[in-house]
Amino acid sequence: MADIILTINAGSSSVKFSVYEIAEGQLIPLALGLIDGIGANATFTARKSNGDKTQFALDQSHYAVDHKMALAAVLDWMEKEERGATVVGVGHRVVHGGPIYSEPLLIDAENFRILHTFEPLAPLHQPYNLAGIEAAIEAFPNAAQVACFDTAFHRRHPYLADTFALPRKYYDEGVRRYGFHGLSYEFIHRILRYEEPVLARGRVIVAHLGNGASLCAIHAGKSVASTMGFTALDGVPMGTRCGQLDPGVVLYLMAEKKMSAAEITDLLYKNSGLKGMSGISHDMRVLEASNEQAAKDAIAYFVRRVRREIGGLCAMLGGLDCIVFTGGIGENAVRVRQSILENMEWIGIQIDAEANAANERVISEKGSPVVALVLKTDEERMIAAHTSELLGLKQPLVPAIS
């Protein structure tokens, strides 16, 4: 009988999941899945590692599909597809661990209560992450439930790296820079430790560029600074999020435009960034294919902000040994990467245009003082690794890829 690790990433209208078998101390990926359209017209999709695909609409004739129904569908599917398997652990992506949690943890009643208190820090994510946990406890009552935090990788920052120039009482109350995408950064650093141990011990900037985008400075394996702050709005522009914004703009929208907090939230989270600037799409691929000036301007602004953050993070590190691109844009948008890295010789980056255009793993020239890499991130695998490690299951430094 196989032991299974399940990972859950629950959002407001979707639940992403992945399934791993524990075999000889390694994590073997079995399937990826998505329940989309929660609260509306929900569809279940799962694709096994052998390519077999299952897709069907969930029954909504009696009740609207919620997170519990979504996880029940996952359970039903697993009972059919993985007969005799036992789910020993469920790892959950939880956006916010607040100022308290810097490591994954086994969920119990008390820390689950504490996680609810962080909902005001991530109102668009945390409630749904926790709804996923509640649903998983009901669907898999005999499995250990593990919370893995997007903020945890950044939690050892010194005070000066996390504070805002506000009265100290606000920092003490939790108003501070948290940083996000920590699971992605941790996975990339594990890959570096495994494949490039000398670089991993040095000064590294990881650019996680996708629909959500941020950069992180890492020194000797520890996060030094992140472009995201109190929320996932800060830093570089994203697919639909604004990135860095003068807080006076928010005051103006409130005072002069009479916008409510809900309207401003909708603007900054859902209708800004690449989508808002271009008026066309949040998708970089669509913008790159467009001849519209607004699309070109949105891409140019994105590139400019990423370059600016690289310079700032390099200053925080006192130099640079390696830069890594990951995420949907970072891994695939070769022209965007070229624009970001051109004329960066002053930092020590000498980009190899041909290697970059071919989307190779190493895109810097041989002999470049700074090594530039393209690495695929895998937050689900990181969650599965944390879950198995917390359950005391030994495995290699990087979960095996089969």
Half-sphere exposure of 371 (CA within 13 A, CB side): 16
* Beta strands 26-36 and 14-23, pairing class: antiparallel
Q: What is the pLDDT of residue 144?
A: 96
SS3 27: strand
Q: What is the pLDDT of residue 400?
A: 44
Could you report the average pLDDT of every consecutive run of 10 residues in the chain (402 residues)? 92 95 89 92 94 91 84 92 91 96 96 96 93 95 97 94 97 96 97 96 98 97 96 97 98 98 96 98 98 98 98 97 98 98 97 98 98 97 95 61 37
Q: What is the pLDDT of residue 398?
A: 52
Q: What is the pLDDT of residue 310?
A: 98
DSSP string, 68-90: HHHHHHHHHHHHHHSTT-EEEEE
Q: What is the pLDDT of residue 401?
A: 40
Q: How far apart are CA 268 and CA 293, in angstroms?
A: 22
H or E stretch covering 91 = strand 86-94
Query: Is-catalytic flag, 36?
Result: no
Burial of 326 (0-12, 13-18, 19+ CB in 10 A): buried
Please, what are the domains in the chain? 3-149 (3.30.420.40), 196-374 (3.30.420.40)
- Residue in 36, 59, 76, 150 annotated catalytic: 150
Per the CB < 8 A criterion, the answer to whether 274 and 237 are in contact is yes
Q: What is the pLDDT of residue 394?
A: 60
